[in-house]
Structure 1
């Protein structure tokens, strides 16, 4: 019997799943998800990613069951699984969505392509995001994004003609069996399409009114942000359906719903940036592990300062806003964009840490880890793209601007609850008698700052700007702008073209 295999990856849904639709139109299908031990051994994998995946697979299984099919979850390397399947039940075609993932998934996809060619299997890959494979130029990228997101969603087949797996597969392994020993954040979001749709509906109908003005505050952002990023990252929702649902809701808003309209309009711009950043990794996979602008090679030592990196990871930098963000990440797996940028800025400038080890740690901390966005942002905030304005977030200023009464730091750092308001932003300056009176020991209950913030930041900026001023570094900038720069432009008053939007201004979701 001739049949097709639908290989689910980061597209765990039935709705708007072009690969499933195309395979079903061809005939019987076997729905397959491969849990690949080699990917879970990568340094960017975490227990929370596995648990969110398991929850999402359960929802996908329920959806497929309603269509008369079954999701087969098999543990192994993809080419080994395909070889075993071919030996026991030969198939003619493999359907999947394109994926712009980390280097390991890139190598994996190349290996699958070679396997298909060697075995005469027709491998059909379909774009999932507004990311264009083998993009010749950025010039028309935005129109291609608009065409992708504007096309009708694939509704999915009414029923499937299923093919059984020709062997009995053991249960999906747990985190410890895959070598994942980090804890699962107790307050993280739960996976699956049902949860994703609930989050989308709550955002469109209510929470979007908080979006503008709320997404920068670590206190307000948990409800003001869309919180859709993990569901987009694992494909529980498609980008296209989110874009179209947002447009539909915008069109239905009454004239007086000004704040919702402003919030959803701003959110739409972030959906464009989502694919803009992933396109960078698609066009240049090396930016995951080397500087986008090679003129910045050697600026920071990748081996860096292990003691400083460890202090950052433990939330012991001594700057309350930074340490509170680390504590929130540990408990929730999420942090708003402004605070993410601040963490990377503190790591890159006063702590002078290379973005790569910091990025691997944060990849494990972020439930919504999306490689294209993640590594592009790590480099942009660290100043190694060569095309973005230097952004240095002062953690003391961020605290005063976004947590002036200390509600955020006191929520996540219990010792700060005993610190008097007068010492809220710089508790390490408390005199010994104040420490004794409030029962907080600087250097024990609250860490001493690792470096003098002002001095270390000034030195870091001087080093970066000296490198940036070198003629050969300046000369190489144009090629990077041509390949990776945004072509989106603002439309200011009177309709005159404005300056290009700086991607660093985007606060993703």
Structure 2
């Protein structure tokens, strides 16, 4: 019987458990379904296709070297699988367990119903530390460690299927465009790039990670930059964890100077911690898929509104707050910015602009080349204060700029219209006298907007409003239920661990 391996966000042949298991049982038909309806969703953009398409070509080339080709079919999953069954007869279906959006969840449920009706066995295997049908978070960190330590499957020997199957052509573009000038600096997501990044991080770049991940000036090089490959599955989570753990051991026993050893081991430990947090957050969406569209704590439903003018200004990097605008323009142009700046952008939209978190979440998803729904929606909710279990994290965007871009290098790069301003006023141009603005070629509400809100007053209003909502026994009772379902359990042993549900932590998307 033929073994159909349905590739989704696992675009590799190495450390691919479903492919390895299927290859032991018969000839392989590798399948990728290009679903037009998926590319019409509001969280998807043409940027995602630009990064994905070369990875499909690479996967096809790798498979071809083993004697099989990637079969690409365009359409909804159930009709595609029905047509394939008519072509080749009965088959066994293999894939990884995907934690995606509500759209992919509904798609998978439809495929499962079809498989049952047709008598098709569908084997879904895990590829991260996320546990399907998890009953309790107790012991989750132990289970994550065990999964990450499992031996990686060997590269499979693929039996050619000998069928005459033709692929549908890949389109040039898919998804909503971000704009004609965008996308020139996007990081590739292919496996070869990921392996080079993993090695350079394990061998030297980790030394800058702990101190360099918070600033957009240093994060580009200090961060691992593995998140696009993890989101696409061109690199597997266990591969990354095992390589970094080996590097930890190597550096702990290295004869190099103590300061260099300490910097590397600290950076590797911090990165491994974020890899655990990566799965911890995806587990939340796995356990409760509708938090993509529903506030984790219901007390926050309907509290904020939607102001199209404010949203447009925020999404375009035209809020009049230079550091916010520089971060947004950098993100829109390249598809990547470090985690702290992502958190600040989400926080600014939710608190200072008082926007419901759902629209900003979709814009950011369209921008991120490493968009991972399981991280994205729980994180946007956490940064917007709608979980009910996390302390409100309201960033002061001016202070963030002064802390992480003190000389204004980043602002000047992305906001050239402000480049001639003296550094002390670059973060707050609205405080400059008119003659100084004129001398710098800056005209507020002309070449650069005035702030669309008083960020300090808006932050006070948001803080007071939300803390009032958090009072009362009913709020605390619901919050306790959220912690029980989604909070991890503390573990005091020396290990990579995920802290308690109420803790604030950065995570691996964007780091």
| TM-score for the superposition, normalised by structure 1 | 0.95
For residue 346 of structure 2, what is the aligned residue in structure 1? 344
Match of 2:108 in 1: 109
Q: Distance in 1 between matches of 2:112 and 2:499?
A: 42
Which consecutive residues of structure 1, in runs of 5 or more, have no partner in the other structure?
A: none
Unaligned stretches of 5+ residues in structure 2: none
SS in structure 1 of the partner of residue 419 of structure 2: helix
Shift of 1:346: 0.6
3-state SS of the aligned residue for 2:138? Answer: helix
Question: Which whole-Å CA distance do the structure 1 matches of 2:101 and 2:271 have between them?
Answer: 26
Q: In structure 2, what is the equivalent of residue 284 of structure 1?
A: 288
Distance 1:503 1:275 in 2: 16
CA distance in 2, matches of 1:116, 1:503: 41
Cα deviation code 1:349-394 (max 9, x no counterpart): 1100111000000000110000010001000011110101110110
CA distance in structure 2 between the partners assigned to 1:93 and 1:299 by the alignment: 48
Secondary structure, aligned partner of 1:433 = helix
Tell me how many residue pairs correspond in the alignment. 501
- Output one character per residue of 1:303-348: Cα deviation in whole Å (capped at 9) or x when no partner: x111101100110111110000011012210010100111011111
The answer (yes or no) to whether the contact 1:325–1:335 under 8 Å persists in 2 is yes
Counterpart position of 2:322: 320
Distance apart, 1:156 and its partner CA: 2.1
**Alignment match, 1:447:** 449
- In structure 2, the residue corresponding to 1:161 is in which secondary structure? coil
| 1:129 aligns to 2:128 (yes or no) | yes
> Aligned residue for 2:429?
427
Question: Deviations along 1:287-318, whole A, 9 cap, x unmatched?
Answer: 000101112212113xx111101100110111
Matching residue of 1:11: 10
The ranges of structure 1 where at least 4 consecutive aligned residues each deviate by more than 6 angstroms after the TM superposition are none
**Residue 87 of structure 2 corresponds to which residue in structure 1?**
88
CA contact (8 A) 1:70 1:162 kept: no
* Paired position in structure 1 for 2:336: 334
Report the alpha carbon displacement of residue 506 of structure 1 after superposing the two structures with TM: 2.3
The answer to whether the 8 A contact 2:186-2:369 is kept is yes
Q: Secondary structure at the match of 1:33?
A: strand
Partner SS for 2:188: coil
Q: Determine helix, strand or coil for the equivalent of 2:156.
A: coil
Which residue in the other structure is 1:356 paired with? 358
- In the alignment, the residues of structure 2 paired with residue 70 and residue 498 of structure 1 have an alpha-carbon distance, to the nearest angstrom, of 40
Q: What is the aligned partner in structure 2 of residue 150 from structure 1?
A: 149
Q: What is the alpha-carbon distance in structure 2 between the residues aligned to residue 220 and residue 75 of structure 1?
A: 41
State how far apart, in whole Å, the 1-side matches of 2:353 and 2:480 are: 30
Residue 184 (structure 2) pairs with residue 186 (structure 1): yes
Aligned to 1:50: 49
Deviation at 1:117, TM superposition (A): 0.5
2-side partners of 1:205 and 1:499: how far apart?
Answer: 28
- Going from structure 1 to structure 2, the CA distance change for 1:344 and 1:153 (only over 3 Å counts) comes to same
State the Cα RMSD in Å.
Answer: 1.8
Alignment of 1:421-500 (within 5 A): 421-489=423-491, 500=500
- 1:340-419 mapped onto 2 (5 Å cutoff): 340-419=342-421
Q: 1:223 aligns with which of 221, 224, 228?
A: 221
In the alignment, is the contact (CA less than 8 A) between 2:420 and 2:441 conserved in 1? yes
CA change 1:498–1:340 in 2 (3 A) is closer
Instruction: Return closer, same or farther for 1:216/1:498 CA change in 2, 3 Å cut-off.
Output: closer
Return the TM-score normalized by structure 2.
0.95
**Offset at 1:192?**
1.2
Cα distance in 1 for partners of 2:430, 2:162 equals 65
Local SS of the residue matching 2:93: strand
In 1: Cα distance, 2:142 partner to 2:90 partner: 37
Contact 1:60/1:193 (<8 A) preserved: no
Residues 178-327 of structure 1: matches in 2 within 5 Å?
A: 180=177, 182-183=179-180, 184-253=182-251, 254=254, 256=258, 257-301=261-305, 304-327=306-329
What displacement does 1:163 show?
4.5
